[in-house]
Structure 1
Amino acid sequence: MAKLKWIFITCTLWIVNSKAIPQEKNQPNVLLICVDDLLPALGSYGNDEVKSPHMDALAAQSAVFSRHYVTVPTCGASRYSLLRSSLPRTTAELSNTIANRLSAAKQEKSTEPETFIEQFRRNGYYTVGIGKISHHPDGYIYPYSGSKSDRRELPNSWDEMLLDYGNWGQGWDAFFAYANGESRTTKKGDVPPYEAADVGDEGYPDGLIARTAVNKLKMLAHQKQPFVLGVGFFKPHLPFNAPKKYWDLYDEDRLSLTSAPDIPKNIHRASLHNSAEFNQYKLGEEKASLDEPLSDAYSRKLIHGYYACVSYVDEQVGKVVSALKETGLDKNTIVVLWSDHGWHLGDYHVWGKHTLFDRSLRSVLMLKTPDMTGGKQIDRVVSTIDIAPTLLDLCDVPALSYADGYSVKPLLQNIRDTSWKDVAYSYFKEGISMVTPQYRLTRYFRKETPATELYDHAVDTLETKNIAEGNEHIIQELNPLWEQGNTGLFR
């Protein structure tokens, strides 16, 4: 047995370390990189304070979508929308557990693929997920404080689901990890919302995810079958924990605070929230509330932590993209970098996502095809639901019959394509929000008033003043387009 084990290890090391053999196929591979809670706070999106050289380098070779909007501003529901190219039609589809509910009924294959990943798999692709692609950090369903189960969140989509748990033992503890092997869950919330441990990259789980992805790419380079590789990093999701060296990149005292510190004019506070997710961290120095902002000093500490996490995950993305190039796979691989939503860093007194404002709904989207020789910025309005149709289209795989989104391939070929609708719909907090090139129109199905909000991005990109009252003629003009996104979710 010992000899056989030695032979297995030796062969594995040979596969990982030997020079890659070019794949003999025409269909491109897909590398889908998902980053949790990443608002467009990157150099390539105009933030000159954040250190993000690797994602910026990818942006310089990619189509960068400056106006990409998610469908739901919460993790699991946003990822479900990505994977199915779907607008929500039931309130269950606004929940982080939506994929869990479906998996109970979809253990056996149905006539329709459960996700675009399964559609690739049905059409000859080998599919591997590493980390958080749907909602659960390892793709298996179990409670935050439970033991790992063998129940797949997406039972038909992945040939392999991988996560190196390190010292944390299971997915949720890894997701909320502190460097000593504890987590927010094991400590029952008795932790601060940030940590700067003096450890290497693999002292937190994202470093282990990058290592797993690099090794898997080296293995995939030796097979002839095309692949979809999903890599889901945890940061900069709370807690803002990253190796100290990434904190050291910043001078905290010089970091800028939000440009929109006040609650928007002419809205009801029901459109916002009291930062409950953030306040779960009981050892934070201050509690967030709509009643008053956090102190400037503590706000800078939190922004410092968020930026440190962005820089940490940036380094991990760089490792994966470098491995793609080193194996030669970059010559036939489409790369997508996507974030499941944005995040309020004190905007309107809010710390978190979960709103129908731009800060929560606009997120990072980059797409690189093998034939791209340089980057370009695309300022057209696109939605998360457009990603799946695009990848299937670019790979010449049949479209999903149930998809709500559209392929952005025409925009890749011609930024000014006149057939593109330039509209994105988002849903949450009993509301439906629509964004167009100039306006955001949001309607809430609630008792609190005002229930209609209108923002003019031509003069108010930060959405600081609801101008619905007195601009009924604009709302009337926008209504027919808004109605196209009214799926009957709220009645």
Structure 2
Amino acid sequence: MRSPLRPFLFVAAGFAVGLPLSAAEPVAETPAPSAGRPNVLLFYIDDLRPQTADYGHERMVTPNFTRLAESGVRFENAYCQVPTCGASRASLMTGLYPTRERFPDFLTWAERDAPNAKTLPQRFKEAGYTTISNGKIFHHPKDTADRSWSETPWKPAIGGRHFYNDATAAWMKTNEETRKLPGGKTVKKVPMWEAGEVDPLETSDGLIAAKTMADLDRLAAGGEPFFLACGLAKPHMPFFSPEETYALYPRPKIELAEYRDWPQPKPAGLNGVKEQFAYVPMTLDMKFEVKYNSDDYHRRMQQGYSASVSHADDLLGRVTDKLEQTGLAENTVVVVLGDHGWLLGEHNQWAKNTLLHDALRTALWMSGPGVARGAAVPSYVEFVDLHPTLCELAGVPVPEGEIHGRSFAAVLQDPSAAHRDHAYTRFKAGDSIASADYHYVRYRQPNGERSALLIDRKADPLGKKNHAGDPAYAAVEADLNAKLDAKLSAATGDRAGRSEAAAN
């Protein structure tokens, strides 16, 4: 007999109503920091963009993300440094900006690209913490493993492409479509969607959550400080999620992306994303293939993504419940984040691996001792900033000049405090600056020529018009180019340059 998702996941009419927090709202009293060294629970969720009820998506059924936002702070403007999983994680864990050679793609190894850089868990391990990795934290489990983790990184025997239904198994027997994995191995493609007949704790992510809960029991009994990382794969494609989560999102009620064309004029360096073509868009009953980028395709993609986010929400709730039950919550800093943004039909694109804005802005929450409650943080933060922030909260030293990130610990106590007013991201031949007013991308062409994308975010939040080269925006573009040059200088500079000037 399968166990259903916990009852509180379901609400009237199949939708949760989330009231987005406002940075202007009064902030509840900030709890006093604990006298002891705080633990860290890092909840890393693959491909999670700010697509939860507390971020203003009222139809999302995500009560545990809402609970987290109410107990801590939610970041309105958190940005990854590379919009692809392996490189984003390596950058965050080392606190270093990417360059052309460092952290270029999802196959990145921090050990190879930055062999002398200490990782975030390594600093905690050297400070006497027990450090544990469950699921996907680094892209490669063995990456920096000996020096980062107290125990061998753990992953379940089944992964995110494991399917559960008889209809899926029958289709797989006749399917002849294949894809090439990195390294050249050819494997059969799996369907894009499955409403799995499975207990939530028996999915790949469910097993990771269960291992993390067992670790919390063990760590509570031991009494020593810990850095525990729990990495979930969903909502990464394919969207295999328990059938109860699919039922939360009836397709007729799903709204399509408002703008599905490229920014015009389209810059030469802006290319389409291809990750979605690694999966076959079969209907849930496996009877027919859905036409790519049709309205039906868009609705099914949104349904599958949303279902997977609700599955992650359920598992997050189980783990944080366990944290409270063990008595560890009072002295544990909880960090929940996606590894980058994600396109959900905007510009008719899917996934990440692009410098379009929705692939760069990420989801990030924090709660725990010394962290304000029920507040939204408007200041910009970069993922490289999380490394020194957690170290500061735990009293773990980070020598000057070793990383590019800057601690935003002050923002956790006063969410209105200033930190950054723009954020840097790069991918392949492009470099990007995002601010409240503009999103700017500068591309390098193989022939040495440059192209650019300049979006006026206030006047054009959907990103329809490219103003790069427009004389009316010449001063704006010059300022953004200067900011971008400063970031590139910091990323490629010597040890002293890594501290990054405060103006950047």
The residue number in structure 2 matching 1:16 is: none
Local SS of the residue matching 1:31: strand
Distance in 2 separating the partners of 1:237 and 1:442: 25
Within the alignment, does 1:175 sit opposite 2:160 as a pair? yes
The residue number in structure 1 matching 2:216 is: 217
- CA deviation digits over 1:205-225, x for unaligned, max 9? 011011101010010001232
Runs of 4+ in 1 over 4 A off after TM superposition: 180-187, 447-450, 487-490
Within the alignment, does 1:46 sit opposite 2:52 as a pair? no
Q: 1:430 to 1:457 in 2, by over 3 A?
A: same
The residue number in structure 2 matching 1:158 is: 149
Letter in 2 for 1:224: G
The residue number in structure 1 matching 2:270 is: 271
The residue number in structure 2 matching 1:472 is: 474
Distance in 1 separating the partners of 2:281 and 2:416: 50
Distance in 2 separating the partners of 1:287 and 1:394: 50
Normalised by the length of structure 2, the TM-score is 0.81
Distance in 2 separating the partners of 1:391 and 1:163: 23
The residue number in structure 1 matching 2:349 is: 350
- CA deviation digits over 1:350-372, x for unaligned, max 9? 11111112110011011112244
Within the alignment, does 1:435 sit opposite 2:434 as a pair? yes
Matches within 5 A, 1:127-166: 127-136=131-140, 139-140=141-142, 153-163=144-154, 165-166=156-157
Matches within 5 A, 1:10-29: 26-29=36-39
Letter in 1 for 2:229: G
Could you tell me whether the CA contact under 8 Å between 1:113 and 1:119 is conserved in 2?
Answer: no
Within the alignment, does 1:117 sit opposite 2:118 as a pair? no
User: Alpha carbon RMSD of aligned pairs, Å?
Assistant: 2.5
Distance in 2 separating the partners of 1:197 and 1:337: 25
Which deviates further from its counterpart, 193-202 or 320-329? 193-202
- CA deviation digits over 1:377-410, x for unaligned, max 9? 0111111011011000111110154210111112
Matches within 5 A, 1:12-91: 26-91=36-101
Distance in 1 separating the partners of 2:411 and 2:110: 34
Local SS of the residue matching 2:488: coil
Could you tell me whether the CA contact under 8 Å between 1:25 and 1:226 is conserved in 2?
Answer: no
Letter in 1 for 2:88: S
Local SS of the residue matching 2:311: helix
Local SS of the residue matching 2:477: helix
Q: 1:100 to 1:407 in 2, by over 3 A?
A: closer
Q: 1:433 to 1:113 in 2, by over 3 A?
A: closer
Aligned length: 435
Which deviates further from its counterpart, 179-188 or 420-429? 179-188
Letter in 2 for 1:249: L
The residue number in structure 1 matching 2:234 is: 235
Letter in 2 for 1:128: I
The residue number in structure 2 matching 1:18 is: none
Letter in 1 for 2:461: T
The residue number in structure 1 matching 2:495 is: none
Could you tell me whether the CA contact under 8 Å between 2:267 and 2:452 is conserved in 1?
Answer: no
Which deviates further from its counterpart, 362-371 or 177-186? 177-186
Within the alignment, does 1:93 sit opposite 2:103 as a pair? yes
Structure 2 runs not aligned, ≥5 long: 1-33, 173-178, 283-288, 493-504
Distance in 2 separating the partners of 1:60 and 1:395: 23
Distance in 1 separating the partners of 2:82 and 2:403: 16
The residue number in structure 2 matching 1:406 is: 406
In the TM superposition, what is the alpha-carbon distance from 1:196 to its structure 2 partner? 0.9
Structure 1 runs not aligned, ≥5 long: 1-23, 107-111, 141-151, 169-173, 289-293
Which deviates further from its counterpart, 264-273 or 216-225? 264-273
Letter in 2 for 1:133: I
Q: 1:269 to 1:445 in 2, by over 3 A?
A: closer
Q: 1:113 to 1:298 in 2, by over 3 A?
A: closer
Distance in 1 separating the partners of 2:454 and 2:219: 49
Percentage of pairs with the same residue: 32
Letter in 2 for 1:460: D
In the TM superposition, what is the alpha-carbon distance from 1:153 to its structure 2 partner? 4.7
Letter in 2 for 1:27: R
In the TM superposition, what is the alpha-carbon distance from 1:450 to its structure 2 partner? 6.8
Distance in 2 separating the partners of 1:397 and 1:236: 32
Local SS of the residue matching 2:77: strand
